[in-house]
C-alpha cells in the first residue's frame, strides 16, 4: 500500500536516493538511527545538557506577566483581573438564577419544578410529545437522584458559555467570509483548534486566570467556539445565489444583505452549529472541573478518585442524560419549521406554551414559600410521618447498594478479568510501551519525516520536523512517547473493531439501523463519562485507559467506513459484479480499495479522539502528557502544562497531516476528490 502512496511528483529528478526503493529508505533510516543510539547515548535520550528549559521560561514569563508586565501603561494583571471580573458577572447572575437565589431582593432561585416544567414545555413546543417525555424523565431523574443542584451548577457555565461561544463564533465566521486576510488567518486556526484536545486549552487559561469558574468558562468558550464559526462560514457560503441576488436586486445595502438575507437564510446551518457548541460546551465543562468548574463533573471526578462507583454511575447517567436532552432539544429546534399563522386562533391558543410556563413559574414561586420540595427536590422520598415513616427512595442508599453490588461483582469477575488484563498488559501493552520508550528519537524523527516528505512534500516535512523537535529538545520525549503508545494501540483496536462493524453496516440495512443510532448516541456523551465503566471493570492503569478510549474513538472508524462504502458509485460495484467477482472479492478488490481514502480519514478522526481521550484518562491516573496538564494546574507550574497541551495537539497535527495528505492524494488518483 505504501508503495502506491508515494506521489511521484515529490520525487526530485536525478536525486540518487530515489533509486533506492521506499522500504530500503525506511530500513536505512531505522538502521542508521539504531546504530547511532549504540554509539551515542544522546540518540536515546536527548542529552540533559542540551535540553532547552522552555517549560521554565514559560513559567517565568507567566510569573512576569502576572507581576510586572504592562501594556500601554496598564498592568497586565489588571487586564486579566478586569476580564475575570467582567466574566464573573454573568456567571454570578446565572448562579443566582439557577441555584443560589437573589439574596438581595429575597427572591429564591428558580424552583426546580419551574425549571423542569420549562424544559418539558420547550421540548413539547420544539419536538412534540416524545421529546417532552424524554426531558420529563431526565428532570425526574436529576431530582430523585439528588443531583439537581450539581446539575444546575454545571448548567450555570453552560448557559453563560453557549451564548458567548455562539456570538464569538458567528462574529468570527462573518468576518472570515468578508475579509480575505481574516480568512487566511482564521480558517487554518479553526481547523487547528478543532483538532486540539480539551486538555490543551486548560493550562494556558488557568495560567492567566485564577482557579475558578471564570477559568472554566473561558476555556469552555474557546473550545466550543470553532464549530460555530465554521458553521457560520459554511452557512453564509451556501446560501442560494438566487436568494442573495434577490436581496441585492431588492436594493439591500451590504449590511441589510447580511442581517436580513444571508444570516436568516442560513438559520438551519447556524442552528446545527449551535447544537455543536452546546455539546462541546458540556463536554468541556465537566472536564474543566480540574480548573475550577463546580457541578456534576467535579463531583464525578471526586467519586471516581474515591472509587465510589455507585455514586459515579448515578452522576455519569445524569451527565449522559443532560447531554442527550441538550442534543435533541437543539436539533429539534434547528429543524423546527414555523407554520403559517392561522387566522382565528386566539392569543392564548397561539402562545399556549409560553403562557403555561409563565403560569407554572409564578405558581411554583408561590408554592415554594410553603413547600420546600417545590424549591429544591428532597434528598430522599419519605411517605407518612413519625413511626409510620417509610423511605420510598433514597439515592444515597441506592448508591451504597450499587457500590456493594459492584464490589461483589468485581470479587467474582476479577478472577476472570484480572488474568485477561494482566496477560494483555504483560504481553502486549508493556512490550509496545517499552519499545516506544527504547525507540531512539532519530528513528522516530526519520521515519515520520520520510513519510511526511513522501506524502506531502517539503511543507509537511518541515512542519512535522518542527513539531517533533519541539518535544524532543524540551525534554518531553518520554511523556510524548507514552501518549503515542497509548494512542496507537487504542487506535489500532478501534480500527480492528470499527472497520468490520462499518463494513457490516454498509452491507445490511438492518445492522446499519442499529449501529448508526448507537454511534450517534456514543458521540453525544461527554468523553469524561467513558472513564466510569473502565474504572469499574479494570480500576486504573493503561488497560483501563485504553478501554475508556475504545467506545469513544471507535465511532469514526465505523462511520467513515460505512460512509466510504456507501458512497462508492453503483457503476463501480456493478462492474465488479459483471466481472464475476464473489462477494468477498468484490469487497477486498473493489469496494475497500475505493473506500480506503475515506476509511483513512476515519482513522484520522479516531486518532484525534483517542488523543483527546488519552489526555482525559490522566484524570484517573496516567503518566503521560495529559498528566502533565493536570499536575501543572494543581501545582501552578504552568510551563510544563502548557507545553504538554501543545504537544498533545502537535501529535494530532502530525497524524492529521500525514493521513490527510495521503487521503487527498489517493482520492485524486482515484478521481473521487
Please state the closest distance from residue 344 (CB atom) to other proteins, in A: 12
If one counts every other C-beta atom within 10 angstroms of the C-beta of residue 39, the result is 8
Per CB under 8 A, which of residues 248..277 are in contact with other proteins? 248-253, 256, 260-261, 264-265, 267
CA dist 102 and 115 (Å) reads 16
Nearer Cβ to other proteins (345/566)? 345
Residues 6+ apart with CB under 8 A from 634: 290
Please state the closest distance from residue 342 (CB atom) to other proteins, in A: 8
How many residues belong to the site for other proteins (CB under 8 A)? 25
Nearer Cβ to other proteins (9/340)? 340
Phi, psi of 102 (to 5 degrees): -90, 90
Burial 244-265 (b: 16+ CB within 10 A, else e): beebeeeebeeeebbeebbbeb
Closest to 603 (Cα-Cα) out of 650, 662, 547, 668: 662
Please state the closest distance from residue 244 (CB atom) to other proteins, in A: 8
Q: What is the x/- site pattern for other proteins, positions 298-337, by CB under 8 A?
A: ---------------------------------------x
Span from 204-212, 241-249, 375-383, 440-448 in contact with other proteins (CB under 8 A)? 241-249
CA dist 397 and 141 (Å) reads 15
CA dist 544 and 548 (Å) reads 6
Nearer Cβ to other proteins (248/425)? 248
Nearer Cβ to other proteins (350/407)? 350
Nearer Cβ to other proteins (253/306)? 253
If one counts every other C-beta atom within 10 angstroms of the C-beta of residue 662, the result is 24
Please state the closest distance from residue 178 (CB atom) to other proteins, in A: 15
Please state the closest distance from residue 166 (CB atom) to other proteins, in A: 18
Nearer Cβ to other proteins (238/579)? 238
Please state the closest distance from residue 265 (CB atom) to other proteins, in A: 6
Per CB under 8 A, which of residues 530..589 are in contact with other proteins? none
Pairing relationship of beta strands 74-75 and 390-394 according to DSSP bridges: unpaired
Which one of 41, 60, 68, 245 is in contact with other proteins (CB under 8 A)? 245
By the rule CB under 8 A, 242 interacts with other proteins: yes
Dig out the grid coordinates for 80 from the structure.
486579566
Q: Percent helix, strand and coil across the chain, each rounded to 5? A: 85, 0, 15
Nearer Cβ to other proteins (181/241)? 241
Please state the closest distance from residue 142 (CB atom) to other proteins, in A: 35
Nearer Cβ to other proteins (262/536)? 262
Span from 36-44, 238-246, 277-285, 590-598 in contact with other proteins (CB under 8 A)? 238-246
Q: Nearest 10 degrees: CA dihedral of 336, 341, 345, 346? A: 80
CB 144 within 8 A of CB 373: no
Nearer Cβ to other proteins (266/280)? 266
Please state the closest distance from residue 239 (CB atom) to other proteins, in A: 10
If one counts every other C-beta atom within 10 angstroms of the C-beta of residue 268, the result is 14
Residue for cell digits 458577572? 89
Nearer Cβ to other proteins (48/339)? 339
Dig out the grid coordinates for 465 from the structure.
520536523
Please state the closest distance from residue 261 (CB atom) to other proteins, in A: 6
Q: Tell whether the torsion through CA atoms of 285, 553, 608 and 479 is positive or negative.
A: positive
Report the chain's C-alpha Rg in angstroms: 28
How many CA atoms does the CB half-sphere of 542 hold within 13 Å?
23
Closest to 638 (Cα-Cα) out of 61, 197, 216, 53: 61
* H helix count then E strand count, the chain: 30, 4
Please state the closest distance from residue 263 (CB atom) to other proteins, in A: 10
Residues 6+ apart with CB under 8 A from 7: 454, 455, 665
Nearer Cβ to other proteins (34/252)? 252
Nearer Cβ to other proteins (250/418)? 250
Nearer Cβ to other proteins (10/248)? 248
Which one of 8, 16, 240, 346 is in contact with other proteins (CB under 8 A)? 240
377: helix, strand or coil:
coil
Please state the closest distance from residue 340 (CB atom) to other proteins, in A: 4
Nearer Cβ to other proteins (14/344)? 344
Span from 246-254, 290-298, 314-322, 511-519 in contact with other proteins (CB under 8 A)? 246-254
Please state the closest distance from residue 84 (CB atom) to other proteins, in A: 38
Please state the closest distance from residue 338 (CB atom) to other proteins, in A: 7
Please state the closest distance from residue 248 (CB atom) to other proteins, in A: 6
Nearer Cβ to other proteins (68/245)? 245
Which one of 243, 258, 512, 522 is in contact with other proteins (CB under 8 A)? 243
Residue for cell digits 535520550? 45
CA dist 153 and 101 (Å) reads 13
Per CB under 8 A, which of residues 338..397 are in contact with other proteins? 338-343
Please state the closest distance from residue 346 (CB atom) to other proteins, in A: 16
Q: Which helix (H) or strand (E) holds 395?
A: helix 395-424
Contacts for 502-505: CB closer than 8 Å, 24+ residues apart: 502/557, 502/558, 502/559, 502/560, 502/561, 502/562, 502/564, 502/565, 502/599, 502/602, 503/561, 503/562, 503/565, 503/587, 503/592, 505/558, 505/562
What is the contact surface with other proteins in residues (CB under 8 A)? 240, 242-243, 245-253, 256, 260-261, 264-265, 267, 337-343
Amino acid at each position: 500500500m505504501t508503495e502506491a502512496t508515494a506521489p511521484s511528483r515529490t520525487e526530485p529528478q536525478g536525486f540518487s536516493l530515489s533509486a533506492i526503493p521506499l522500504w530500503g529508505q525506511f530500513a536505512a533510516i531505522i538502521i542508521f538511527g539504531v546504530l547511532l543510539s549504540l554509539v551515542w547515548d544522546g540518540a536515546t535520550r536527548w542529552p540533559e545538557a542540551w535540553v532547552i528549559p522552555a517549560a521554565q521560561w514559560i513559567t517565568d514569563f507567566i510569573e512576569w506577566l502576572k507581576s510586572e508586565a504592562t501594556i500601554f501603561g496598564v498592568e497586565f494583571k489588571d487586564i486579566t483581573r478586569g476580564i475575570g471580573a467582567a466574566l464573573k458577572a454573568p456567571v454570578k447572575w446565572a448562579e443566582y438564577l439557577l441555584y443560589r437565589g437573589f439574596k438581595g431582593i429575597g427572591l429564591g432561585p428558580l424552583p426546580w419544578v419551574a425549571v423542569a416544567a420549562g424544559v418539558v414545555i420547550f421540548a413539547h413546543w420544539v419536538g412534540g410529545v416524545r421529546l417532552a417525555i424524554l426531558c420529563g424523565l431526565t428532570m425526574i431523574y436529576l431530582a430523585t437522584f439528588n443531583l439537581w443542584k450539581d446539575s444546575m451548577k454545571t448548567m450555570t457555565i453552560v448557559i453563560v458559555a453557549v451564548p458567548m461561544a455562539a456570538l464569538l463564533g458567528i462574529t468570527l465566521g462573518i468576518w472570515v467570509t468578508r475579509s480575505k486576510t481574516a480568512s487566511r488567518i482564521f480558517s487554518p486556526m479553526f481547523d487547528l483548534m478543532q483538532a486540539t484536545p480539551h486538555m490543551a486549552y486548560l493550562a494556558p487559561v488557568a495560567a492567566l486566570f485564577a482557579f475558578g469558574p471564570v477559568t472554566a468558562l473561558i476555556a469552555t468558550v474557546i473550545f466550543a467556539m470553532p464549530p460555530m464559526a465554521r458553521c457560520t462560514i459554511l452557512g453564509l457560503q451556501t446560501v442560494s445565489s438566487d436568494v442573495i441576488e434577490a436581496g441585492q436586486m431588492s436594493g439591500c445595502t451590504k449590511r441589510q444583505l447580511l442581517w436580513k438575507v444571508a444570516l436568516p437564510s442560513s438559520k438551519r446551518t447556524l442552528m446545527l452549529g449551535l447544537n455543536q457548541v452546546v455539546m462541546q460546551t458540556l463536554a468541556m465543562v465537566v472536564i474543566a472541573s480540574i480548573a475550577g468548574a463546580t457541578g456534576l463533573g467535579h463531583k464525578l471526578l471526586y467519586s471516581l478518585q474515591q472509587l465510589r462507583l455507585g455514586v459515579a454511575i448515578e452522576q455519569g447517567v445524569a451527565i449522559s442524560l443532560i447531554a442527550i436532552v441538550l442534543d435533541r432539544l437543539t436539533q429539534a429546534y434547528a429543524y423546527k419549521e414555523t407554520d403559517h399563522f392561522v387566522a382565528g386562533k386566539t392569543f392564548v391558543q397561539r402562545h399556549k406554551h409560553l403562557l403555561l410556563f409563565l403560569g407554572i413559574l409564578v405558581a411554583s414561586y408561590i408554592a415554594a414559600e410553603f413547600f420546600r420540595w417545590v424549591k429544591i427536590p428532597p434528598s430522599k422520598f419519605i411517605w407518612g410521618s413519625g413511626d409510620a415513616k417509610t423511605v420510598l427512595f433514597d439515592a444515597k442508599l441506592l448508591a451504597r447498594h450499587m457500590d456493594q453490588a459492584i464490589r461483589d461483582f468485581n470479587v467474582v469477575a476479577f478472577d476472570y478479568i484480572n488474568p485477561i488484563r494482566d496477560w494483555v498488559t504483560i504481553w502486549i501493552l508493556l512490550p509496545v510501551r517499552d519499545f516506544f520508550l527504547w525507540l531512539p528519537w532519530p528513528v522516530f524523527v526519520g521515519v515520520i519525516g520520510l513519510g511526511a516528505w513522501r506524502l506531502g512534500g517539503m511543507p509537511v516535512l518541515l512542519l512535522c520536523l518542527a513539531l517533533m523537535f519541539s518535544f524532543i529538545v524540551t525534554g518531553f520525549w518520554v511523556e510524548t512517547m507514552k501518549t503515542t503508545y497509548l494512542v496507537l494501540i487504542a487506535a489500532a483496536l478501534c480500527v480492528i473493531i470499527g472497520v468490520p462493524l462499518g463494513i457490516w453496516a454498509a452491507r445490511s440495512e438492518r445492522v446499519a439501523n442499529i449501529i448508526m443510532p448507537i454511534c450517534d448516541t456514543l458521540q453525544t456523551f461527554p468523553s469524561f463519562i467513558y472513564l466510569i465503566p473502565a474504572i469499574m471493570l479494570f480500576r486504573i492503569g493503561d488497560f483501563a485507559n485504553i478501554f475508556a478510549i475504545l467506545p469513544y474513538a471507535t465511532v469514526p472508524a465505523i462511520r467513515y467506513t460505512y460512509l466510504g462504502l456507501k458512497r462508492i458509485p453503483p457503476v463501480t460495484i456493478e462492474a465488479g459484479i459483471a466481472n464475476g467477482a464473489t462477494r468477498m472479492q468484490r469487497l477486498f478488490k473493489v469496494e475497500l480499495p475505493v473506500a480506503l481514502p475515506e476509511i483513512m480519514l476515519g482513522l484520522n478522526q479516531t486518532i484525534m479522539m483517542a488523543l483527546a481521550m488519552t489526555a482525559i484518562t490522566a484524570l484517573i491516573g496516567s503518566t503521560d502528557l495529559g498528566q502533565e496538564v493536570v499536575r501543572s494546574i494543581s501545582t501552578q507550574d504552568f510551563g510544563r502544562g502548557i507545553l504538554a497541551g501543545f504537544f498533545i495537539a502537535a501529535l494530532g497535527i502530525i497524524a492529521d497531516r500525514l493521513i490527510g495528505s495521503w487521503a487527498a492524494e489517493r482520492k485524486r488518483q482515484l478521481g473521487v476528490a
